[in-house]
Structure 1
Amino acid sequence: MIAALLIPAVTFAQKPLPKTYDLLVGAYTNGKSKGITVFRFYAETGRLAYLSQIDDVSNPSYLTVSADSKFVYAVNENDKGEVSSFSFDPKMGALKFINKQLTLGGAPCYVSVDKANKSLFVANYSGGNIAVLPLNEDGSIAPSVQTIGDSGPFGPNKDRQEKAHVHTAVLSPDEKYVFYTDLGTDKLHITRYKPGKDSPLSGVKPPFVSVTPGGGPRHLDFSLDKKHLYLVQEMGSAVTMFDYNSGKLTPKQTVTLLKDGYTGATGAADIHVSPNGLFLYASNRGDANDISVFSINQETGELTFVDRRAINGKTPRNFVIDPTGNFLLVANQNSDVVYVYKLDKNTGKMLGIVYKVEVGNPVCLKFAPAQ
């Protein structure tokens, strides 16, 4: 069951030009959700309208959309790791299953694709590796041609860092490198990417950067000028800023996501730079249940704390900022709801909720241009 509630919008002086996007919602399917849901997003108001749903897609916990919006790829986060491909009709917001392949690792939790739609990169959390799968012209996925992982040493948290746990596989802005985070080893790995080869990923020197032991690196994003990389650490509830240059990372700053004296449960999750490049947002689960906002120094890339916003739902695992930069949408995994918050593009602060939709166990939000 999907329901929508319109809440009075926050008044703002200038409205953006009317634009529409498709919002794809990935979810865990052990509750109310049965697959991937698609909404039409109206960037003028923040309103969402239900378009379609494709069922019988097991645990599509992370999605990616091809650069031409013709295809959608979704991990199937199960012990038998798989990744599925779909054709996508942006006019109707409709998905059609094409095929799926094994990811050669358990619990895949992240998927990305290059702009040419030649290669798919999947992070296997319990498998502790990333897999590279070629793509065919019809959007279908071919069997994996390469896997890469780390054999240790592992971090100090014996319960969480007993082995490698890979969370992301992210292409650099110029797509010459692929970065992958390993919560188990406290490393951010760097590999060179050359499409069209049997082994598209190769080593670089240095092959990784490390974070504070027990930090648990998770997700990352680049600055708008591509000179800095921001890494959120799940267990440490912190963000580290690196200077970035042609595959090389130099750590410069680490900031906490926690209030002074905070002792409750945490679990930092997602991180995004605003479309105008002025602000960075990072979510924290557990008892914190909030999103922190930082301003970005446009010369140095360093972060300054701006605000911390408590989230109305539970467990803000994933969030997304709409392409106009006017709204921030939060997927609340444990309260079956996606909230739309108005953003102040001048201060970076999250203002009031303008809309919400109910979706079972939402854990991934992706935008695609509507037609």
Structure 2
Amino acid sequence: MNKLLKFFLFIFLFSVQGNAQNTYVFLGSYNRDVNAESIQVYELDMKGNPKKITSVKNIINPSYLTLSPDGKYLYACTETKTPNAGSVSSFEFNPEKKSLTFLNKQSSGGENPVYLSVHKNGKWLVNANYTEGSVAVHPILENGKIDSLAQNFQYKDGSVNKDRQTRSHVHSAVFSPNHDYLFLPDLGADKIRCYAFDENLKKPLVETTTPFTKTDLEAGPRHFTFHPNQKFGYCIEEMAGQISVYNYENGVLNKIQRIAAHPEKIKEGFESSDIHISPDGKFLYASNRGKENNIAIFSIDENGLLKNIGYQSTYGNHPRTFALDESGNFLIVTNVLSGNATIFKRNPETGMLKKISKIKMENVSCVQIKKI
């Protein structure tokens, strides 16, 4: 091999190595103790095997995690299920140093924060507070820290179930595909609330002519996701164990289907929880807790309608959240009561899941996967 060829080969290999990305798994826990690990970070190899690289203590009950678009910062709902408390916290993630460093925290604007989302420009953080039924908006500073509250809306209206719907319980805050609207499934009010989101305003949430979409009574809307083609939205209903499918356009939802997330033999005690769509838009996955502890798998037709094609045990108890990696190769689900996260390999042709391994973490509550 001549010197010139060796030189170009060296440059090529250096370039490939410099642009290489790894897949990281972030897990949160209802640790309830500052001395216990609250967040763990793993590196996932190409076969789906996890390797722990770092962890964080001194944070109470991170119930939900999300990352900045570039993966440099991790955000968490913290002090969840803590009386008279509730916060959102920021961390800097450094994959080279394999470190996760606490930056700061701010009030979540209400008790029991359970969900948060980052705007695609990386400058806004929105979180949902379950117990007090509210949404809060924080600016994100250039160094990744969370600024003080910019907006905070609380709701009082409930619905018909006297045990669980005496008042609003906002369970998630999800941006529309273009991040110009924000949707808030409200379990307590049987509504999916909606605001326009103007990223250029100091107070970006703006009221719309369609402030909410009413769901079926005692549905208990919980989490929401959009199809990659941006034409359809899907809401998992915790109390009814159903998935409602909507046509979507310019901040408006119109229901076109409602289908059970659980097997027909399950007649009551539904605890449906999380919902996600494969990156190719061909399959939808929904988690069921309680009597079932499974992932329901659906195929998605071109018209957005769902067809159930199977169920997969989560190999644990109480699957609260799950996540798909950006390639669609892996699905990881958190089983809170059994203290384990199960890693599945996903078949892109059939949509079916095959267990690879488990991660042990006491009271594991949430998961995110990011290629960085």
| Aligned partners of 2:75 and 2:89 also within 8 Å | yes
- How many angstroms does 1:264 deviate by? 4.9
Deviations 1:156-204 (A, max 9, x none): 2111111110111111111111111110000001100112423210111
2:9 alignment counterpart: none
Distance 1:272 1:30 in 2: 28
Residue-pair matches, total: 349
Distance 1:142 1:322 in 2: 29
Equivalent residue letter for 1:124? N
1:139 alignment counterpart: 144
Equivalent residue letter for 1:26? G
| Aligned partners of 1:110 and 1:168 also within 8 Å | yes
Percent of aligned pairs with the same residue?
A: 35
| Aligned partners of 1:22 and 1:93 also within 8 Å | no
Distance 1:313 1:251 in 2: 33
Q: How does 1:305-324 map to 2 (within 5 A)?
A: 305-324=308-327
Equivalent residue letter for 1:192? A
1:177 alignment counterpart: 181
- Find out whether 1:292 has 2:296 as its counterpart: yes
Equivalent residue letter for 2:134? N
Q: How does 1:114-153 map to 2 (within 5 A)?
A: 114-152=119-157
2:111 alignment counterpart: 106
Distance 2:108 2:310 in 1: 39
- Find out whether 1:224 has 2:217 as its counterpart: no
1:341 alignment counterpart: 344
Distance 2:262 2:29 in 1: 27
Deviations 1:264-319 (A, max 9, x none): 53210000001111000000100111110000012x11101110122211011111
1:238 alignment counterpart: 242
Q: How does 1:37-52 map to 2 (within 5 A)?
A: 37-42=40-45, 44-52=46-54
The structure number with the bigger radius of gyration is: 2
Equivalent residue letter for 2:317? K
Distance 1:238 1:114 in 2: 28
- How many angstroms does 1:248 deviate by? 1.1
Distance 1:211 1:87 in 2: 39
**SS of equivalent residue, structure 2 residue 321:** strand
**SS of equivalent residue, structure 2 residue 208:** strand
Equivalent residue letter for 1:287? K
Deviations 1:1-32 (A, max 9, x none): xxxxxxxxxxxxxxxxx973011101111379
Deviations 1:203-223 (A, max 9, x none): 111111111110100001111
1:208 alignment counterpart: 212
Deviations 1:315-356 (A, max 9, x none): 1111111222222111111111111112221111122x1111
Equivalent residue letter for 2:32? N
Distance 1:91 1:179 in 2: 36
Distance 1:311 1:158 in 2: 31
1:11 alignment counterpart: none
2:96 alignment counterpart: 91
The runs of 4+ residues in structure 1 deviating greater than 4 Å are: none
Equivalent residue letter for 2:233? L
- Residues 93 and 219 (structure 1), Cα distance of their counterparts in 2 relative to 1, 3 Å cut: farther
Equivalent residue letter for 2:369? F
1:81 alignment counterpart: 86
1:20 alignment counterpart: 22
Equivalent residue letter for 1:70? K
| TM-score, normalised with respect to structure 1 | 0.91
Distance 1:93 1:160 in 2: 42
Structure in which a larger fraction of residues adopt helix: 2
Distance 2:21 2:347 in 1: 18
2:172 alignment counterpart: 168
**SS of equivalent residue, structure 1 residue 275:** coil
Distance 1:332 1:258 in 2: 17
Deviations 1:107-147 (A, max 9, x none): 00011111222111010011210001111111111111211
Alignment gaps of 5+ in structure 1: 1-17
Distance 1:57 1:355 in 2: 27
Distance 1:356 1:305 in 2: 26
2:8 alignment counterpart: none
Equivalent residue letter for 1:306? I
| Aligned partners of 2:166 and 2:188 also within 8 Å | yes
Equivalent residue letter for 1:111? L
| Aligned partners of 1:33 and 1:359 also within 8 Å | no
Deviations 1:200-256 (A, max 9, x none): 101111111111110100001111101000000000111001001111111100100
- How many angstroms does 1:33 deviate by? 4.7
Equivalent residue letter for 2:271? G
2:4 alignment counterpart: none
Alignment gaps of 5+ in structure 2: 1-19
Distance 1:127 1:366 in 2: 25
- Residues 312 and 52 (structure 1), Cα distance of their counterparts in 2 relative to 1, 3 Å cut: same
